[in-house]
């Protein structure tokens, strides 16, 4: 396990904080009151400033910002900013004008940046005011971050909790994500790799070790990609969803499947193989598993959820790549727990003639994975036909025409006949324009009718979005989506086809930003709203963001989270 220690040492040295101040260090907020009124004071660290237009003070939801006196401002990037200290005084007379029954809620919002170019997340703080003996007392409330989105809340936890609690929390997030579609594509890949590597020498210990290597490098990919995203603001996984990369990776799956069919054996050149064997003492299969684990995280399973977005937001705002990247690593490792369980089952692959059938089975799994990859660039009916063709060949290779001798043979033949009938229905349905795997002979009419009631207008850049925000007379929902995003497809197929969701969204202007190609305009849109990858749904009302939903949610969760 020496490489674990080496990894953490390298990660710490490579991505050290470099003196970047945390949110609490950059902005030190103090309050006090007397018989004259209430004082709000924010002491700013050196080279830290506040945007004046981001400062907002409300009394029981009444905006009183314009009624307060501000200190002298300077100009940065054509915006008024405040250095050194912000002190706001709310006079007693003003408080009495707005407060009834001697109690009120006071809220303060602000955001700032450093002159090095680092911008911190917006801060929302709530206070309770009580008038006693003619003086208003001010007390911070526990729900001071309630206006934040889910990702902002997680970013705040990262900046305020201890590192142990933070890592434990993110491991829990990973276990929850293991129940989502994020991890599903990895299962057949790892199972196939284990079947190839064990061959005639099954071992529970070695099987688990291969799974551990796969999960470790999958987690490493998430950590490194997250660090790069947080620092550079680029969608690394999105950049890897280009058609030529998808085709290349699908080709790798095809080559792996042909190897499992026995057409050839994948090996390194003998001279290089001998060199590697000497260096790693016979563990030459590990490198292939490590590479597949690393690439699978980036190419096969791009998945954005609130915990991931929260860690990326923390890295972006604070520059603390070590804690942010380590949190992503731990979260991804928790997400990989089901894969480790698969490794424990490797010992059941006992040697024998039946293992040839197992290899052929996983060969077809590799072909299915290749087609699944191509779903991102090919039309749905072509994908349906490819699945059908694979099914026909699968039944032939797996014993459709074998002689029946036992009851198990009868069961197997009946299963193969059912798979053959279904595969043929996929081929017939695809030739007639069907796109549904579940109902290939219904030609997808029901789904079209159901989904047609939601009409999205595609916007291509920030200018078009601003124009829509200004012109719309209704609230707006902006969805960030991509053709390679599996969770986006789930939203369209299940969440947006729900009648209650459609009735709710009928009151909204629906906009869609397709970031499939990661163009400069796509990246500019994502950077403007702090979006690290699809799916993300942002809600606006009167030119102001009211909230957002990150990742896939079912209809009930969607309805409860719409602001």
Domains of the chain: 23-147 (2.60.40.1250), 153-354 (no CATH), 450-561 (3.40.30.10)
Q: Give the model's pLDDT for residue 197.
A: 66
**What are the Cα distances from residue 15, in Å, to 18, 147, 167, 227, 321?**
8, 31, 17, 8, 6
pLDDT confidence bin for 79, thresholds 50/70/90: confident
Length of the chain: 563
Q: Give the model's pLDDT for residue 321.
A: 66
Where b means 16+ CB within 10 Å and e means fewer, 55-79 reads bebbbeeeebeeeeeeeeeeeeeee
pLDDT confidence bin for 16, thresholds 50/70/90: very low
Q: Which two tokens stand for residue 216?
A: 């470790």
pLDDT tens digits, one per residue of 80-99: 999 999 999 999 989 988 88
Given the structure tokens 């906009």, which residue do they identify? 511
Q: Give the model's pLDDT for residue 298.
A: 65
State the burial class of residue 329 (Cβ atoms within 10 Å of its Cβ: 0-12, 13-18, 19+).
buried
**CA nearest to 417, candidates 402, 442, 395, 385:** 395
Q: Give the model's pLDDT for residue 391.
A: 94
Query: By percentage, how much of the chain surpasses pLDDT 90?
Result: 21
Query: By percentage, how much of the chain surpasses pLDDT 70?
Result: 72
Phi, then psi, of 404 in degrees rounded to 5: -90, 120
Q: Give the model's pLDDT for residue 423.
A: 94
Claim: this prediction has a pTM higher than 0.85: no
Q: Mean pLDDT, to the nearest integer, of 22-47?
A: 88
Phi, then psi, of 482 in degrees rounded to 5: -160, 150
The answer to whether residues 358 and 221 touch, using CB atoms and an 8 Å cutoff, is no
Phi, then psi, of 546 in degrees rounded to 5: -105, -20
**Regarding predicted confidence, which is higher, 13 or 50?**
50
Is the omega angle on the peptide bond into residue 535 within 30 degrees of 0, that is, cis? yes
The answer to whether residues 312 and 536 touch, using CB atoms and an 8 Å cutoff, is no
Q: Which of 3-12, 160-169, 477-486, 503-512 has the highest mean pLDDT?
A: 503-512
pLDDT confidence bin for 149, thresholds 50/70/90: low
The answer to whether residues 440 and 430 touch, using CB atoms and an 8 Å cutoff, is yes
The answer to whether residues 359 and 195 touch, using CB atoms and an 8 Å cutoff, is yes
Q: Give the model's pLDDT for residue 14.
A: 42
Distance linking the first and last C-alpha atoms of the chain? 47
Q: Give the model's pLDDT for residue 284.
A: 47
Nearby residues of 509 by Cβ (< 8 Å), 6 or more positions away = 457, 468, 472, 474, 475, 476, 477
Q: Mean pLDDT, to the nearest integer, of 513-526?
A: 84
Q: Give the model's pLDDT for residue 502.
A: 93
Given the structure tokens 């200290």, which residue do they identify? 85
pLDDT tens digits, one per residue of 444-498: 444 444 444 688 999 998 889 988 888 888 999 999 998 877 778 888 888 998 9
**Regarding predicted confidence, which is higher, 207 or 110?**
110
Alpha-carbon distance of 37 to 99, in angstroms, equals: 13
Q: Give the model's pLDDT for residue 15.
A: 44
Alpha-carbon distance of 248 to 300, in angstroms, equals: 12
Q: Which two tokens stand for residue 217?
A: 């490098």
Given the structure tokens 């809340």, which residue do they identify? 153
Q: Mean pLDDT, to the nearest integer, of 418-439?
A: 88
- Quote the DSSP letter at residue 404: P
**What are the Cα distances from residue 202, in Å, to 196, 206, 343, 348, 471?**
11, 8, 11, 8, 66
pLDDT tens digits, one per residue of 377-390: 888 889 999 999 99
**What are the Cα distances from residue 423, in Å, to 201, 401, 477, 550?**
35, 16, 39, 36
In Å, how far from its chain's centre is CA 510? 22
pLDDT tens digits, one per residue of 260-307: 787 765 554 555 445 544 544 444 467 778 887 887 776 655 555 555
Reduced to 3 states, what is the DSSP secondary structure of residue 476?
strand
Q: Give the model's pLDDT for residue 201.
A: 56
How many Cβ atoms sit within 10 Å of the Cβ of residue 208?
19
Reduced to 3 states, what is the DSSP secondary structure of residue 551?
coil
Residue 312, pLDDT > 50, answer: yes
The answer to whether residues 534 and 478 touch, using CB atoms and an 8 Å cutoff, is no
Q: Give the model's pLDDT for residue 448.
A: 46
Rounded mean pLDDT of the chain? Answer: 77
pLDDT tens digits, one per residue of 156-197: 555 555 677 777 877 887 887 776 666 666 777 777 777 666
Residue 233, pLDDT > 80, answer: no
Alpha-carbon distance of 357 to 484, in angstroms, equals: 32
Q: Which residues pair with 548 in a beta bridge?
A: 538
How many Cβ atoms sit within 10 Å of the Cβ of residue 118?
17
Reduced to 3 states, what is the DSSP secondary structure of residue 51?
strand
């Amino acid at each position: 396990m020496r490489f674990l220690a080496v990894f953490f040492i390298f990660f710490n040295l490579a991505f050290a904080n470099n003196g970047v101040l945390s949110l609490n260090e950059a902005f030190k907020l103090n309050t006090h009151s007397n018989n004259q009124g209430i004082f709000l004071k924010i002491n700013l660290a050196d080279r830290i400033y506040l945007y004046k237009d981001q400062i907002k003070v409300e009394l029981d939801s009444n905006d009183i910002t314009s009624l307060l006196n501000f200190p002298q401002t300077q100009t940065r990037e054509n915006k008024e900013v405040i250095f050194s200290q912000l002190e706001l005084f709310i006079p007693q007379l003003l408080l009495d004008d707005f407060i009834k029954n001697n109690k009120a809620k006071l809220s303060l919002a602000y955001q700032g940046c450093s002159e090095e170019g680092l911008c911190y997340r917006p801060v929302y703080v709530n206070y309770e005011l009580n008038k006693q003996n003619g003086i208003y007392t001010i007390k911070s409330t526990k729900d001071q971050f309630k206006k934040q989105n889910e990702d902002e809340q997680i970013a705040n936890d990262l900046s305020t909790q201890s590192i142990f609690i933070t890592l434990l929390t993110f491991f829990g997030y990973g276990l929850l994500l293991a129940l989502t579609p994020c991890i599903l594509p990895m299962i057949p890949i790892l199972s196939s790799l284990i079947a190839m590597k064990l061959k005639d020498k099954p071992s529970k210990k070695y099987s688990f070790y291969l799974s551990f290597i796969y999960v470790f490098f999958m987690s490493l990919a998430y950590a490194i990609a997250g660090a790069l995203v947080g620092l550079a603001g680029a969608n690394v996984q999105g950049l890897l969803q280009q058609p030529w990369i998808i085709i290349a990776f699908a080709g790798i799956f095809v080559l792996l499947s042909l190897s499992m069919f026995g057409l050839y054996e994948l090996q390194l050149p003998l001279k290089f193989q001998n060199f590697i064997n000497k260096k790693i003492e016979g563990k030459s299969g590990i490198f292939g598993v490590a590479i597949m684990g690393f690439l699978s995280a980036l190419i096969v399973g791009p998945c954005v959820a609130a915990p991931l977005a929260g860690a990326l937001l923390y890295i972006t705002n604070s520059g603390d790549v070590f804690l942010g990247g380590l949190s992503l690593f731990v979260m991804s490792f928790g997400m990989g727990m089901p894969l480790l369980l698969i490794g424990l089952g490797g010992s059941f692959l006992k040697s024998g003639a039946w293992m040839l059938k197992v290899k052929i089975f996983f060969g077809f799994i590799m072909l299915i994975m290749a087609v699944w990859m191509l779903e991102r660039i090919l039309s749905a009916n072509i994908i349906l036909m490819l699945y059908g063709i694979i099914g026909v060949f699968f039944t032939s290779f797996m014993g459709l025409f074998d002689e029946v001798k036992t009851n198990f043979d009868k069961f197997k033949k009946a299963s193969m006949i059912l798979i053959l009938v279904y595969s043929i229905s996929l081929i017939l349905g695809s030739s007639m324009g069907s796109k549904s795997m579940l109902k290939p002979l219904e030609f997808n009419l029901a789904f079209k009718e159901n989904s047609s009631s939601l009409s999205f207008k595609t916007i291509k850049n920030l200018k078009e979005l601003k124009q829509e925000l200004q012109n719309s007379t209704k609230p707006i929902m902006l969805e960030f989506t991509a053709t390679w995003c599996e969770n986006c497809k789930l939203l369209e197929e299940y969440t947006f086809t729900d009648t209650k969701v459609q009735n709710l969204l009928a009151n909204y202007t629906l906009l869609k930003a397709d970031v499939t190609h990661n163009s400069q305009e796509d990246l500019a849109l994502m950077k403007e709203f702090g979006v690290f990858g699809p799916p993300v749904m942002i809600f606006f009302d009167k030119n102001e963001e009211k909230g957002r939903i990150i990742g896939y949610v079912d209809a009930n969760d969607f309805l409860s989270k719409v602001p």
